[in-house]
Every structure is written in structure tokens, then in C-alpha cells.
Structure 1
Amino acid sequence: MHRIPLAIPALVAALVLLVSLPAQSRHYTARNIEPRDQESPAVTGGRFWDLPPGELQGLRWPASSEAIEHHVEHLLASMSDEERVAQILMLTWSGEEPNEEFLRWITERNLGGVKIFGWNAENLVTLTNTLTAMQRKSIATSNGIPLFTATDQEGGWVRHIRGETLITPGNMAIGASGLPYDAMMSSRYIGQELRALGVNMNFAPTVDVYINPEAHVIGPRAFSNDASQTGLLGLAFFRGHEQSGVIATAKHFPGHGNATGDSHGVLPVLKDSFETLWDRDLLPFRMLIREGIPAILGGHLSFPEISGAETPASLSRYFNITLLRETLGFEGIVITDDMYMGGALVYAERQGWTFAELIKQAILAGNDSVMLSRTPAFDGLIWRTLLEAYREEPEFRRRVDESVRRTLRVKIAYLIPEWRVPLFPDASIVQEFVRIPEARTFFLDQAGRSITMIRDTDLPHPHQQGERVLLAGRGATFFAVGREFFPGADELRFQGSNFYTSLAEDRHRWAAAMDRYDTVIFLLSDPNTLEILQSARPQNAKVIVYSVLTPIYLGALPWVENAIAVYGWARESFEAGFSVIQGHYEPRGSLPLLLNYP
């Protein structure tokens, strides 16, 4: 186990690094990973690259000068109707490599962006080659506007690009350590991997304030239940991405942390007042907007007490234009969450809209980029509806043109300078930048800094010869690491995979096994395992609850006398947790939320 660094040096470093950095030192300075013999897009590309050389010096977001605005207007004037409409779409493809129809969106319409989901990203070399091929096709169009290549690589629980990429302790672990340094360095290491792959936009940081225990979809993705701490750590995460050249995207505006229900499947309705929203959920966004966050992703969340209707914020002109633009002064781009999510589809069904009409309404509501997790037909209803509206409805045309201008400004600021995420990364050296040893060491130490002692009646608990130990829970890594610390321990692996409810068979197996042991180490990870633990209490065995991800479920277990909170799911986090149980070091993490013991 690595020694856990003292908090004071890390905090001092954080205070230094959070100061606004000069433009020339804000971005990643490691060697360029584009092939040396690759021609510059400025030479081979279209009009997008014709920015006057003097404007490149110190170019950064927000990009605002008379020359840049002239360049944006010149570009817009040169774009066809089809190119303008396509520029505000963010599409994904099926499988690891796109088919020819998908590529036509790029070659014939100069598509605005692509979204990388898990099904696109298991093989890192294939993904890198795919993104390179897409950018080549985008640069080869008449205007040569490069793609946003976006994904969800939050750290911790949400990691759409898997393969050999880092599995970090996640945001709640950062909240437990409370160190902006941890947030910034986590972001920097994540950004380094994305940079190597050619991913130039990340839908992170998640700055939802975790208030409602029923907000399961947020859980460990949140930093804290404290708005100020969430804002500070979110800002540090933003700084780390800036140093890597990756476009950071704050989410889920205006705040998912008090929602009951998952917007992937339903439309959550929140009864918060404007005053509560302003002081709590909006505070992190206000801090990030003030510091220049370039993109914000909106949530499919309804706030009827504020807007007067159950319209999702993602489809609300009030939230996207009046509040975000006019009140908060946001100048970057607003991106929808996936429009195939239940929160959007439920509302569209209530309004009697087709899916194509839903997309149109999202644009009219002030979104600059519309994300779709399924590739629309090249000349299908969605495309025909949007193009017809652009040509025949002045208000829709005005809204699209506004969005294209904002998109171009962000792309000019992030995708033209030499420090940009490479458009054509070298897939042969990707492995040099993935799970590098220094990153793994950092995340082991960071996991250790975050561990929180909840109840310690009989902790620490060193391994004892002849002791009968049972490891109970779900997750192969928990068992693998647990047996290293407690050799000879037996295993009770629960079979049910449903997040919310357990299997009767698992409850029966737990009841039959628990009192045959001296010590039970129980992995509490979700409502499923909570239900199992609540179904029967051991009478003879000593129980140590090993909470992982969010510790919120410990609030329902006041009878548990020994419990630690660990926030990550990777080997490093499990190693740190078992080290604490055995007393190898004293945990110093603080709970980033309230458990609400009865």
C-alpha cells in the first residue's frame, strides 16, 4: 500500500493551480502525439483554417476579437443550409466502426460532432483510427470544420471509453478528500487519455448537488451535497481539462441532485423554488460560467414551481435562454442530453409530437447541439423536418444560425491552436498514454485519502490465523482483493443483477451462511445489497460493512457497528479499503453527504 500523502501539500498545490493560468501555459505540454509527417490541417483544410496568423497568438476560450467575429461570419456565409443544420447535430454510430451512410453525414454535410458511447469504444486502437478517419473526412470538406468528438468519461462510475483506460475513484471520492488538487489531477489524467485517443470534448464535470438519496442515477457521480464544495471541485476539474486541451462540459443543468427518478427512463419532476435552485443547484454552474466553462449539458428535468409548466429544462426557453444566457451570462454552447432518454420522450408523447418535432423544439428552446444515441436516416423525417424548418421558418433559421456561430467560436478556440487535442492521433502509441504508472499510483493514493470511517466499534480488524471469514457481495474485484488481505476467506457471491431489488435466493443464501463465520465483510453497493443485508442480521458473526460508491445506504443501517465508506470500484480503491480495515493506516476522508440516521 502506498503511503497516503499529507493533505497540506496537496491543498497548497491546489490553491496555486486554481489561479487562472496564462494562455500559453494552460494546456498540455507533453510531446505532440500526431505523426510528424502529418500535414497541418491549416494547409490541407478548408475555410475554417483561414484565421489570420496574428489571431493564433494566445488564442483561447472565450475567443472574442473583431477578426475572429469576422471569420465566424465569413464561415457562416459560406456554409450551405445543409451544413448549418448538420453543424448543430451530435450523432453516434453503431458498433466499433461506422458504416458508409453514417460517414455521409460528415462528407456531404460537415456534421458538427460525434458522441462516443460504450459500444463504440472497447478497442482503443480501433477507436483512435476511427476518429482519425472521421476528422480527415471532416477536414476534407469545403469548409473543413473539424468535429467535436465527445464522450462521457467522468471518472469513477461513468466511463464510456473502457478498454485499458483508467478506472478512477470518482467524484465522490474527491468530495471525501475535499482537495481541489485531487479533482484537478484526476481530470488531467483522464484528459491525457482522451487526448491520446483524439477525443476533444468530455461531458464532465458532473456538478449536480447530491441532496436526494433517491437520486440513484447521480450517486457517486456527485462530488458532494454541499453546493460550494461542488463548485470548487468542479472548477478544479475544469482546470485539469484545460491543461489537457479537452473541452469540459458541466452537467446536468440546472441540477439533477434532488431528483427522484432517473431521467434516462422517466421525466423527474422537482418541486424546488427558484430561491432554492439559485442558492444550491445553480451555484456550481454560476462559478463555472464565471470562470469560462465552454459547454454545458442540460438535463431532462421538470421544475414546474419555477417555469409554471412540466416542460423539461432541456426544452425550456426560460432555462436555456432567459436564465442561462441572459441572467447567468453564459457564452458557450448548450448541449442536450441524449434525446432518446425517457425524460424527453415522455414529454414529447404528452405533447403529441413526433420525434422529429421533438428535435426541432429542442433547437427552438435554445440548445446549440442536439445529441442522438441512434443514427437518424440520412434523408429521413428528422432531417427533412429540420431542413424544411430552416428554409421556411425565420425564427428557426435565426436560432440555428446563432448556434452555429457559438459552435464555431468554441471550435476556433479549442481546435485550431497547436495545443489542441490532435485531430489525427497516432494509434500506434496510444498505449503509452493509457493507465500510465504515475496515474495508477496517484489514484491509489487518492483512494486512500478519501476513505471514511463511519463506525469503528471493533475496527481495525487485522487478519488472524484460524479466523473464519466470509466475503459477501457482488463484484469480482472485491473478492479478488479481499482474499489477498484475508487468505482462505470464503465467498458468498450474490447472483441478482437488478440494481434496485434482490433475489429471494440471495436473501436465503445470506441468512443460511452468515452465522457460520467469525467475521463477515459485506460489500454494500446498491439497493439490491441493502435489501439483502436488511433481510437478516447476523447474531454471532462480527459484521464489517464495506460501503462502495455512494455511502447513502448506510443511513438505513443504524445497527451496524463497523463500517467504512469507499467510493471507487477499481482495484486501487478496494486495496485502500481493505488496508483501512486491517489498520495499515488511519482513514482521513470526510463524508461528503448526510446519512440521516433515524
Structure 2
Amino acid sequence: MIGALMLDIAGTTLTPQDIEILQAPQVGGLILFARNIESPQQVRALTNHIRRIRPEILIAVDQEGGRVQRLKNGFTLLPAMGRFGELYQQHPEQALVLAEQCGWLMATEVLAVGIDFSFAPVLDVDDVSDVIGDRGFAKNVEDIPELAGAFMKGMHRAGMATTGKHFPGHGSVKADSHVAAAVDMRSYKEIYEKDMQSFIQLMPELDAVMPAHVIYPQVDSNPAGFSSYWIQEILRKQLKFNGVLFSDDLTMQAACVVGGADARIQAALQAGCDMGLVCNDREAASLALQGLEGFPFPDQTRLERMRGKIPDIDIGEQLALGSEWQTAKHAIEQFKQTIANK
């Protein structure tokens, strides 16, 4: 069974304490950070070990590109998604081809080292938010579905599920929800007509959605990730989304309005999330596990869709994943060089 908690580990190998907590039935996922990464070979050894402990676990990472990519040494350094949006203004067809190649390349490298999926793509508009910025594909909301759709097509072709974040939109909110309470005072109509459009148009291609730790007081008093209105009424009923719902990290400052880690994961699941993330705080993760005692397990059919097509290959000190990988890698690195030369 896949449990409802996703947590993290401290280092590049499993400690006895890691092994103990991974065996807790309600631990269903593990997210890797930069501190867990030394090389492709080491990551594959780590994920193989994790699966010997818990074969059913889902392993994730944030490998968006730009300033948010955890896999660096030995992996392709990807451009920020906003660079595709800039190219799209002048050369839309080229931008879409490169976005798809980038999605395929990211997914292929992540899968090769035994990680099921990256929490990608960001579907937020590049507006006033500093924490989003060029993590979003474009400043023009109408450009995002085309570009993100191409990126997701590449992910799917490689065998990776997609996760759109941060519903219903974080790009129009100045505050960084990692470190502060984030509030968006706009009406539902304004949010729907702008920020939500990329999610709505790409809904058929989304395997999962991550709600924002943002409060939209004109709609509901709770942050979207704790709001049964946003999750059950809007996402599930009105938009008919039947994929997985992951909470954003429940240790973020904007999530603390709900209480301790036990109360936060309970609130997220009761609102309709399938899995809650508790990162960079083992004490909080243990408290969240206690909070899950007696909770039903999440929908297994939904969560199984997030399992990546991980190849049965030996990874050496350097990635070598075939001719298509070489072609895509060259195209993305050439694109980055073109940007650098401007």
C-alpha cells in the first residue's frame, strides 16, 4: 500500500533511522533534495536501496530547470522555463519543439536514476511573484498552455507523470509562501480568467496537481491546499479532475496557519489531498505520521499512475542514455548557449 505522507532523508545514503521511518505504512513517498545527490551512479544506488526497503514507495524530486533543479552534477543543466516563453514571442514553433525536447530530456534523466517523477511543470503565470518568476513559462497567460503542453508531451513520451503547480495560481501573489503568509485578494472571476486558465486547458494532460499555500479570501478563508472548496468543489466537481492531489510542503510558513505538522497533514487530507509533503524536518515528519494514525490510505489507483517507467539499466559515473538523449541534450545546451550569448 502507498501511504499518505511524503518525507525526505538527510544524506546520500540511508541511515538506520531512515530505514525505520520508511517502513511506517503511511509513508508513501520520498522526495530527494540537492543534499542527497552526488552523481547519477550514487542516486541510482540510493533509489535501489530505498525500493529494497519499500518496493511500493513513490520517489520524487523538483527538477524544473533554472534555479529549481536538484540533479546537477552529471546531469543536464536545464534552462528556466521562462526562456522558452521568451523564444515563443519570436519563434513559436522552435520554442515548442525545444520545450518538448526539454521535458523529454528532464524526464529521461530523472527516470534513469530510479526517480518516478519530478514535480513539474509550473503552470503559474510569470507575474508579480518573485518566488515564481521565470519558473513560469510565460508572462502572457495565453502562451502557457502551448509551452507547458509541449513540455508535458515530452515528459509523457519518456514515461513520466506530470504535476501542475501551484493551483489555482501563485504567480499573481507577491508574498513567498515558503517564508510568509500569502494572500490574494482578487475575486474568483479574476483568478479564473487569468491564473486558472493554464490548469483548465491542460487538465486532460495532468496526472497530478499541487495546490498553492495561498489564501484567496474572496473565495475561501483557508489556503487552497487546505480548502475543501478549492479541492473538492472546484477541482474535483467543477473541473472534473480525477488525478492525484499533492499538498505543497507542509513545513512552509504559509502552511503554519493550520497548526502543527499533525494538524496540517490531517487538514490537507480532509480537504481532499491524496498525499502530504513534510520536508526538511524529521521531527515534523514523525509528528505527521502520528497524526495519520487511524486515517484511511489514499486512493491507490490514482497514486499508482504516478509510478514512472524506470529503465532496468546500470548507471555508470556518467549518464549515457542513447542517441535521442544525445540529440536532445545537444539541442538544450545549444539553446542555453544562445541565451548566454545575447
Q: Same fold (TM over 0.5)?
A: yes
Report the CA distance shift for 1:284/1:147 in structure 2 as closer, same or farther (over 3 A).
same
Alignment of 1:340-355 (within 5 A): 340-345=251-256, 347-348=257-258, 353-355=259-261
- State the partner residue of 1:386: 292
Aligned mate of 2:320, from 423, 427, 432: 432
1:566-595 alpha-carbon deviations (Å, 9 max, x no partner): xxxxx6632x32xxxxxxxxxxxxxxxxxx
Aligned residues: 335
Contact 2:162 2:206 in 1 (8 A): yes
Q: Matched residues in 2 for 1:386 and 1:275: separation?
A: 36
Matched to 1:426, the amino acid is D
Report the CA distance shift for 1:342/1:108 in structure 2 as closer, same or farther (over 3 A).
closer
Contact 1:195 1:421 in 2 (8 A): yes
Matched to 2:205, the amino acid is G
Report the CA distance shift for 1:123/1:211 in structure 2 as closer, same or farther (over 3 A).
same
Task: Find the residue that maps to 1:207 and give its secondary structure.
Answer: coil
Aligned mate of 1:92, from 2, 5, 8: 8
Q: Matched residues in 2 for 1:379 and 1:264: separation?
A: 17
Alignment of 1:127-276 (within 5 A): 127-139=43-55, 146-178=56-88, 179-212=95-128, 215-276=129-190
Alignment of 1:326-337 (within 5 A): 326-337=237-248
Contact 1:185 1:240 in 2 (8 A): yes
Aligned mate of 2:193, from 279, 282, 286: 279
Q: Matched residues in 1 for 2:131 and 2:286: separation?
A: 33
Does 2:339 match 1:573?
Answer: yes
Aligned mate of 2:213, from 287, 290, 300: 300
Contact 1:184 1:240 in 2 (8 A): yes
- State the partner residue of 1:499: none
Q: Structure 1: which 5+ runs fail to align?
A: 1-82, 140-145, 391-396, 448-570, 578-598
Bigger-Rg structure (1/2) = 1
Matched to 1:438, the amino acid is T
Report the CA distance shift for 1:135/1:172 in structure 2 as closer, same or farther (over 3 A).
same
Report the CA distance shift for 1:163/1:572 in structure 2 as closer, same or farther (over 3 A).
farther
Alignment of 1:27-46 (within 5 A): none
Q: Matched residues in 2 for 1:385 and 1:118: separation?
A: 28
Higher relative contact order (CA closer than 8 Å, sequence separation 6+): 2
Report the CA distance shift for 1:170/1:381 in structure 2 as closer, same or farther (over 3 A).
closer
Identity %: 24
Contact 2:60 2:115 in 1 (8 A): yes
Q: Structure 2: which 5+ runs fail to align?
A: 89-94
Contact 1:91 1:371 in 2 (8 A): yes
1:271-317 alpha-carbon deviations (Å, 9 max, x no partner): 1111111111111111121x23111112111111122x2x2111111
Report the TM-score when normalising by structure 1.
0.53
Alignment of 1:56-75 (within 5 A): none
Q: Matched residues in 2 for 1:110 and 1:134: separation?
A: 15
Q: What displacement does 1:429 show?
A: 6.9
Report the TM-score when normalising by structure 2.
0.90
Q: Which moved more, 1:295-304 or 1:103-112?
A: 103-112
- State the partner residue of 1:441: 330
Matched to 2:279, the amino acid is S
